[in-house]
Chains A and B, each alone.
Chain A
Amino acid sequence: MLKKLTRFYHPKTIEEACQFLGNGEGRTAVIAGGTSAALRADSSLEALVDISHISELNYINKDAAFYRIGACTRVQDIYKSPDLKGPAGKLLQAAAGKIGSTLLRNAITAGGNLAGLFPWSDLPVAYMALDAEVVCRRGRPKRTVPVMSLIETRAPQFLAANEIIAEIIVPAYGPGTGTAFAKLAKTANDYALISLAVRLTLKDGAVNQARIAVNAITAQPVRCLDAEKLLEGKVLTEELTAEAANKAADSLNIRKDIRAGEEYRREVFVVMVRRALNEAFENANRKGGQQ
């Protein structure tokens, strides 16, 4: 357990943090929530840069069109935030609230869910369904990238040695958009067997944009592009949702899980997608928008 660890850095700013990361002697890594067992078991790390106390990484802000969430914001704060509303806010809260337990949610961070990506991570699917973007910083310089590219490449490969995830930008959406989150697990604080986020943005009653993002049943978060395509431009009917749900399931590369059979998870996944689509559709059609 972190046998070689000798140093902790406690930067107060992002720039300082990036400096420590860039100049650190020996293997250095970022620590925020610190819940990753893999991190704690790493016996090659020599230094940790603790970014959890950097105030410029800890906030939930809203402007006209976007939520901006600091990377070190605890998922418990997302779950309980009174500022998160509407289709995007509610989806983030639903996903955040299903992560672990209160005690873990007070450690796990919005950015940590992307930096240490696990099959059972619940927030990434919400980010994906919302077409979120991620701000990465190397000191001052920053780049803003689609969340998908970070997920697909995986953070350790995607980020430079002195680069950290600083912010997640989430479009707020409004009336005409509906979202839904669903999780299959054995108990409330269990790891997900299936983690699912759906967004439908309607135009003139038809689906203009569909997002179906899924994790846990797969080895990493993926979107069900075929199913999304099938839905777009169409009016949602019972047959269509059923077809989309099956298509979504067909596209999955289901990972092995000792806790439940593949066939079962596939079958339930279809039901969950169907229900989530209906729920999102209902939310999209709500008068005054999803609250």
Chain B
Amino acid sequence: MAKTTKKTTVKKAATVKPKVSPAISPIPEAPRFFEKPETFNQVSHSLTKVDAMGLACGTQKYVADVDFHNLLHIKVLGSPHPHALIKSIDASEAEKLPGVVAVFTWKDVPRVMRTTAGQGFPEPSPYDNCLLDNKVRFVGDRVAIVAAESPEIAEEACSLIKVQYQVLKAVFDPEKARDKDAPVIHDEKDCRVPIPIFYDPKHNHCSHVETRVGDVKKGFKQADVVLERTYYPHYAQHCAIEPHTCIAYLDENDRLVLRSSTQVPFHARRITAQTLQIPIKKIRVIKPRIGGGFGGKQEVLLEDVCGLVTLKTRRPCIWALTRAEEFMAARTRHPMVVTIQSGVKKDGSITAISMRIISNTGAYGSHALTVLSNCGSKVLPLYRADNIEFIGDTVYTNLPVAGAYRGYGATQAAFAMECQMDEMAEAIGMDPIKFRQLNHIKEGESSPIFKALGEGREGVDMSIGSCGLEKCISEGMKRIDWAKKYGKPGTGVKRRGVGMCCLMQGSSIPEIDMGAVFIKMNEDGSFNLLLGATDLGTGSDTVMAQIAAETLGCRHTDILVYSSDTDMTPFDVGAYASSTTYLSGGAVINCASKVREQIVAVAADMLGEKMQDITIEEGACYGKGRKSSVTFGQICTYAMYEHKQFQIGAIASHISHASPPPFAAHFAEVEVDTETGEVKVLKYVAGVDCGNAINPQLADAQTQGAALNGISYAMTEEFIFSDNGRMLNPNFGNYKIFSTKDMPEIETFLVPTYEKTGPYGAKSVSEISINGALPAIGNAIRNAVGIRLTRPPFTAEKVLAALKEQAKSGKKASSVKAETEKKPEKASKKTPVAAKAEKPVKPAKPAAKKAKASEKKPAKATAAKKKK
């Protein structure tokens, strides 16, 4: 996809720039820093979202909001078994049903192994699935595709397809997936991973990451207390209110057009071409308005099927997932088993952290490696420790497929880490906030983890250029009224507590992700901003318009944003990895700067002045001393019609050399009903340092939305499975996401910093705030009633069971401190990751009965005996 760099326009534009150095190569050099203007006219203001009025009036069009004549409707038959071979499949009855136009089974389609993960090429995810296979690996896996005149007919046809399955033994427990007697889920010969990384499908072992800094053994020996505990972050679904939807049709040139609810139009084009074995140039992907994605639409789930049907039938078709299919057959958050062992000295210094993870990717390895790496890379650098160990493994099971979900590994690992931080503080008798303040990373500091953990390859070394965490903490403490509320549960049946956590994320994947932008000027002084960066409801179109307007010197309403369309807009990796503002925003500056130079040059020509004397203000250029001026409209008209005519416009790209973390501190206040176990989140405070917010209102909205999604995840959202691995609650009736009546009082605030590597000082904001609720609420519950919940969601049933367990064992909450003699270090020898600290019901073992609340014992606490 290096095409754009070859474009001669790039070269020409580059030569206009007077000072840029060697200038011989047409390959542009991405700037490492952006200049900070003295004042901001367009960014740092809460300007109106460019599509807001259309959204509020219902005039904006989503995928399904256009009518097509002769549209076919697609249904996909899902597997009833978690693991089976298709011995025979007979679609003849289905084909006979009036209104059925086509039926496809694995026999009818080419077998091309690929990944559905919409990632950069070559993807760091295994090629372990194809369009249709003769084996199914989870309940809901694709068996056959039906295209019919109506959805009802298509559905009926699905029921007429006769399939004979040879049911295979299934494995659901990630901790048993690598056992000798476990069934091999990917025994096909052709699964592989396209980059040189660990992959051992014969043992259901999808990915492995291991990194060490210093020597944790030594670190544990230096510690006064060593704690080990295992945490079990759970399955969840994105629940974008718009289900995945795709329409395919052939255009007048017989090219395949995919109108799709995707976060990754360019990856969707590439992967669809690969799957259908047609040239990329035969496909155009259009992303209209998208009804939320949260990572769920970073998967190429529908485009291949729709493309197949349209190419084979030559008719337009639509496939929209039902809500049940969203839950069962789209993507989910990776559930994990996270074991942390950490050593701490009484003075509050952390001597060693060992994080061991088993991540359950379900039947296919979408994002298996990178989500796992992010557990370490987006969590471990937050606190200083000389000795760090990260050992992660992703395993296949016969459960729903995990993938990208907002937070992307950081959610799961931050839960474990931030609970562990509270446990450590408690063990040494230190205030948990003071403990964090003592240890968290600060401006100018670095972490060896940045370099050690990348995405499928080594990471990029960097130091922290901006960090507003300290302010997030102090301001948050005030807003939650920490001093008054911490450790004061009261005495009644209902007890209250507060808890907090600190968070970091990243901003784009450095030196991997690329975004590009094209700007052209119109004769009324407006600009078309065409970009691949994909607004899926986040407001990135608006953010980009503001950045463009700031750079060009006009108003954001004069920027006409079009995103994204693989025919019309330049490449962008898409909306993921908290990258759009930071990365694509950089491309906007690079591009708009070139356009600005052209504008200045034309204005100088028109005014008879030198370029360096021209200033720009609100859509007009002024000569020396502001004695003369021309408007942008006049400038473009002049360039189009009058003299040395040319189109004012440019294309530019950006890659980043860093991934500066945004930081956040979250606080929760809860009330626990000790008789029923019900937990009410009373108040939630989230303070975020996202650098200089381009649009504070939108950044705030991102924070509020992410926070409530996190709260809902922490409190109620869960997948309930049958013994056969079938999700039993695939609907909003039984998978409960929070409504207005459930929400606590939510208070968010931004702590402005200035990140020099980001466009106008910006860092990312979209993902970080989904990570706080699990640990902040978990810590608040601990503060209120003394129980440590390690198996979210924190349902009333689990809370009550933990309270009873606590009462039975007679131990008081704060028993973690127990200064028991510790047997000399044995933890870091290669032990199975599942810690013995708790012997709970297996987490992912699907059981109709709910886990019998295993949150019980306080952490296995072992106090290291100081070596003399």
Contacts and interface: CB of A to CB of B under 8 A. Distances in A.
Which range contains the number of B residues in contact with the other chain? 20 to 34
A268 B738 contact: no
Nearest to A1: B152
B675 A264 contact: no
Interface string A237-280: 00000000000000000000011110010011001100000000
B797 A260 contact: yes
B728 A264 contact: no
Contacts of A267: 800
Contact of B736 (A1, A186, A258, A272): A186
Given A1-B152, A259-B720, A187 B736 contact: yes
Contacts of A1: 152
A1 B848 CA distance: 28
Contacts of A3: 152
Contacts, number: 53
B189 interface: no
Interface string B541-557: 00000000000000000
B829 to A, nearest CB: 38
B800 A268 contact: yes
Given A264-B800, A272-B676, A187 B720 contact: no
Interface string B655-692: 00000000000000000000111000000000000000
Contacts of B434: none
B738 A187 contact: yes
Contact of A187 (B728, B742, B852): B742
A232 to B, nearest CB: 26
Contacts of B5: none
A187 B796 CA distance: 11
A187 B676 contact: no
Contacts of A186: 716, 736, 795
Interface string B833-868: 000000000000000111010000000000000000
A261 B676 contact: no
Given A268-B676, A268-B800, A188 B795 contact: no
A191 B716 CA distance: 13
Interface string A176-187: 000000001011
Contacts of B164: none
Contacts of A258: 720, 728-729, 734, 848
A188 B741 contact: yes
A189 B741 contact: yes
B733 interface: yes
B801 interface: yes
B710 to A, nearest CB: 15
A81 interface: no
Chain B interface mostly helix, strand, loop or mixed? loop
A101 B716 CA distance: 18
A79 to B, nearest CB: 13
A101 B736 CA distance: 13
Nearest to B743: A188
Which range contains the number of A residues in contact with the other chain? 10 to 19
A267 B729 CA distance: 24
Given A187-B739, A187-B742, A271-B675, A259 B734 contact: yes
Contacts of B801: 264
A190 interface: yes
B848 to A, nearest CB: 6
Nearest to B804: A267
Interface in A165-214: 184, 186-191
A277 B675 CA distance: 16
A96 to B, nearest CB: 15
Contacts of B737: 187
B849 A189 contact: no
A188 B716 CA distance: 11
B238 to A, nearest CB: 18
Nearest to A268: B676
Interface string B785-817: 000000000011100110000000000000000
A1 B849 CA distance: 31
Interface in A110-144: none
A260 B720 CA distance: 10
Contacts of B852: 261
Contacts of B848: 258
Nearest to B674: A271
Contact of B739 (A189, A259, A264): A189
B397 to A, nearest CB: 20
A196 to B, nearest CB: 12
B6 to A, nearest CB: 54
A261 B716 CA distance: 15
Contacts of A187: 716, 736-739, 741-742
Interface in B752-797: 795-797
A179 B801 CA distance: 30
Given A187-B742, A264-B800, A271 B676 contact: yes
A189 B742 CA distance: 9
Interface in A1-49: 1, 3
Nearest to A37: B733
Interface string A201-235: 00000000000000000000000000000000000
A69 to B, nearest CB: 25
Nearest to B716: A186
27 contacts: A1-B152, A3-B152, A101-B739, A184-B796, A186-B716, A187-B738, A187-B739, A187-B741, A187-B742, A188-B739, A188-B741, A189-B739, A189-B741, A190-B736, A258-B720, A258-B734, A259-B850, A260-B795, A260-B797, A260-B850, A261-B852, A264-B797, A264-B800, A268-B675, A268-B676, A268-B796, A268-B800
Given A189-B739, A268-B800, 4 more contacts: A187-B737, A259-B734, A259-B850, A261-B850
Query: 6 closest Cβ contacts across the A-B interface?
Result: A188-B741, A187-B736, A264-B797, A271-B675, A186-B716, A186-B736
